[in-house]
A and B are shown apart, each in its own frame.
Chain A
Amino acid sequence: MTALLQTSGLTIQFGGLTAVDAFDCAIQPGDLYGIIGPNGAGKTTVFNMLTGVYLPTSGIASFGGTRINGRSPAQVSALGISRTFQNIRLFDELSVLENAMTGAHQHAKINLFDSLLRTPRHYREEKRQRDRAYELLQFMGLEERAGLPARQLPYGHRRKLEIARALATEPRLICLDEPAAGMNTGEKAELSALIRRIRDELKVTVLLIEHDMKLVMGICEKIQVLDYGKTIALGTPKEIQNNPKVVEAYLGGD
């Protein structure tokens, strides 16, 4: 089986400082893959390189056999990688439903004049987007708040809406950046179940960055540990838990 996402030697430097050093990974279709590491280990930077936000200094990333480093975020999204953000970036003035609909915008096969003249194609497209967005809101349990402006959503729901919006782009791989941050235990359990369903029911491969060890250990099948930009361990949750290097990185022993 060929990997869905494969990177080799992915490195980025900010003014002499190496934030991520030679990041290698191979994510298979259907994986539930976790990246963990202490603060400042470079996890989000990896996401930024994978989604076209940052340009890697060197290395290669390929997705489904296509090279993705050097492509713009919109191009990467069109290839089938979507993501959420650690610091939530919703479109606050749009409604919850409209937020999810923007995810579906990229697949619109109409032009501006269809919308300005209200051709049948415009109405079909609106229906397609609305239906798809509504389905995903239902999936995430947000359908009752569809009409609310996104800025009025409570915190936990904002994280879920970001996931719904990312799923609306019809990705093959979704990158979740600390989706459980700021959630309570009950919300976290619910989120774990949802993440699993994203993989099992929607057939979307999941790449997860998370601080909460329990959550990652509970749902991920493969885990990669970063520290100071370098991979220090890779394996199953059990292997990771027993890896002395990981323990050291987290406990900060000398």
Chain B
Amino acid sequence: MLELLATAEPGGTSLAQALLQQVANGIAKGSVYALIAVGYTMVYGVLQLINFAHGEVYMLGAYFSYYPAKWMGYTTDPEDPTFVPAKVPLYVVGFLFVCSMACCAFLGMLIERFAYRPLRNSSRLAALITAIGVSLLLQNGGIMLFKADPRGFPTLIEQSSVDLGLVALTNTKIIIVVVAAVMMTGLHLFVQKTRPGAAMRACSFDMRTARLMGVNVDGTIGLTFAIGSIMAAVAGVLVAMDQPTIDPLMGLMAGLKAFVAAVLGGIGSIPGAALGGLLLGVTESVVGTFSTTYAEAVAFVLLILVLLVKPSGLLGKSGREKV
């Protein structure tokens, strides 16, 4: 901190400005966490399962847009010095997003149908180990198919810096924040206002009663996985666009931290996922101004602190055992 003060220009404004800039970066980062965290929180709400494979769905979301782009001739090959990125028309960008969302939704439902559904009546631990197994399978399958080294993601949108008065952000980061905000709001409205949303809430409240009341439980669980995966897919493409590189292990830490964000906000709560994601992203970025290595620890320190004060997360409800 002292070091930073010393290098900063005279007067306190530049430190304040640097911090403000980090807060802005953190909001972009946190938006991504929030998008992934929603998938964790929704699945946990319904099945009480930590879907460890969710981080891998996010990773595959990026690849599910990389390959179509490649087949259409839009590639970035860092090996080739003469390569000039072609300008990607907007409808193609849209198509790539939709393609990735559809593939991930299908993948999420597939995972639920074949890996988790057979275990719905066995112990939660068995389901958790299966989730870890699916995560390992997708990760290592990814390494086999896509090779472990990072790949350059085609330039869907030319990056440029946008001056927002107090802070400046790249246009891709602004897109991340806007898209995430729109999708999170949409999801919240969907869950609160529509019939399938009500079915989801019913299932997460009490699955057996929901079934008795005529809710199609299997369908609702499938839908939950599909929606969570769609959000992760969008996060995957957005991050790939911003970085712009992708690799088969990108889902590991991002997934873990997004899960931490979901727990921070109170698992099972969609606004909680948004709050947890933003809190985590901003704190990480701000700490990152002082030490990049310790910024990695922020998520876990924050997690432990929050759980110690409020064991059910910030917006979570605590249950009482009936004696």
CB nearest to B322 among chain A residues: A87
Q: Chain B residues near A54: list those with CB within 8 A.
A: 323
Q: How large is the interface on A (under 10, 10 to 19, 20 to 34, 35 or more residues)?
A: under 10
Interface of A is mostly: loop
Beta-carbon contacts under 8 Å, A72-94 to B: 85, 87
The smallest beta-carbon distance between A178 and chain B, in angstroms, is 13
The smallest beta-carbon distance between B293 and chain A, in angstroms, is 39
The smallest beta-carbon distance between A209 and chain B, in angstroms, is 13
The smallest beta-carbon distance between B323 and chain A, in angstroms, is 6
Considering only CB atoms and an 8 Å cut-off, how many residues of chain B contact the other chain?
A: 2
A48 within 8 A of B: yes
A44 within 8 A of B: yes
A53 within 8 A of B: yes
Q: Chain B residues near A85: list those with CB within 8 A.
A: 323
CB nearest to A44 among chain B residues: B323
Query: How would residues 231 to 243 of chain A score, 1 for a CB under 8 Å from any chain B CB and 0 otherwise?
Result: 0000000000000
The smallest beta-carbon distance between A53 and chain B, in angstroms, is 6
Q: How far is the CA of A197 from the CA of B322 in the complex (A)?
A: 31
Q: Chain A residues near B323: list those with CB within 8 A.
A: 44, 48, 53-54, 85
Query: How would residues 306 to 323 of chain B score, 1 for a CB under 8 Å from any chain A CB and 0 otherwise?
Result: 000000000000000011
Q: How far is the CA of A44 from the CA of B322 in the complex (A)?
A: 11
Q: Chain A residues near B322: list those with CB within 8 A.
A: 87
Q: How far is the CA of A44 from the CA of B323 in the complex (A)?
A: 8
Beta-carbon contacts under 8 Å, A26-49 to B: 44, 48
Beta-carbon contacts under 8 Å, B285-323 to A: 322-323
Q: How far is the CA of A87 from the CA of B323 in the complex (A)?
A: 8
Q: How far is the CA of A48 from the CA of B320 in the complex (A)?
A: 14
Q: Chain B residues near A48: list those with CB within 8 A.
A: 323
Q: How far is the CA of A48 from the CA of B322 in the complex (A)?
A: 11
Beta-carbon contacts under 8 Å, B173-220 to A: none
CB nearest to A85 among chain B residues: B323
Q: Chain B residues near A44: list those with CB within 8 A.
A: 323
Q: How far is the CA of A70 from the CA of B159 in the complex (A)?
A: 63
Q: How far is the CA of A53 from the CA of B323 in the complex (A)?
A: 9
CB nearest to A89 among chain B residues: B323
The smallest beta-carbon distance between A9 and chain B, in angstroms, is 22
Beta-carbon contacts under 8 Å, A113-171 to B: none
Q: How far is the CA of A243 from the CA of B147 in the complex (A)?
A: 84
CB nearest to B320 among chain A residues: A14
Q: How far is the CA of A54 from the CA of B322 in the complex (A)?
A: 11
Q: How far is the CA of A53 from the CA of B322 in the complex (A)?
A: 11
CB nearest to B321 among chain A residues: A53
CB nearest to A45 among chain B residues: B323
Q: Chain B residues near A53: list those with CB within 8 A.
A: 323
CB nearest to A53 among chain B residues: B323
Q: How far is the CA of A245 from the CA of B323 in the complex (A)?
A: 29
The smallest beta-carbon distance between B188 and chain A, in angstroms, is 27
Q: Chain B residues near A87: list those with CB within 8 A.
A: 322
Q: How far is the CA of A87 from the CA of B322 in the complex (A)?
A: 10
The smallest beta-carbon distance between A67 and chain B, in angstroms, is 22
Q: How far is the CA of A53 from the CA of B320 in the complex (A)?
A: 12
Q: How far is the CA of A85 from the CA of B322 in the complex (A)?
A: 11
Query: How would residues 105 to 121 of chain B score, 1 for a CB under 8 Å from any chain A CB and 0 otherwise?
Result: 00000000000000000
The smallest beta-carbon distance between B163 and chain A, in angstroms, is 51
6 contacts between A and B (CB under 8 A): A44-B323, A48-B323, A53-B323, A54-B323, A85-B323, A87-B322
Chain A residues near B (Cβ < 8 Å): 44, 48, 53-54, 85, 87
Q: What are the 6 A-B residue pairs with the smallest beta carbon separation, nearest first?
A: A48-B323, A53-B323, A44-B323, A85-B323, A87-B322, A54-B323
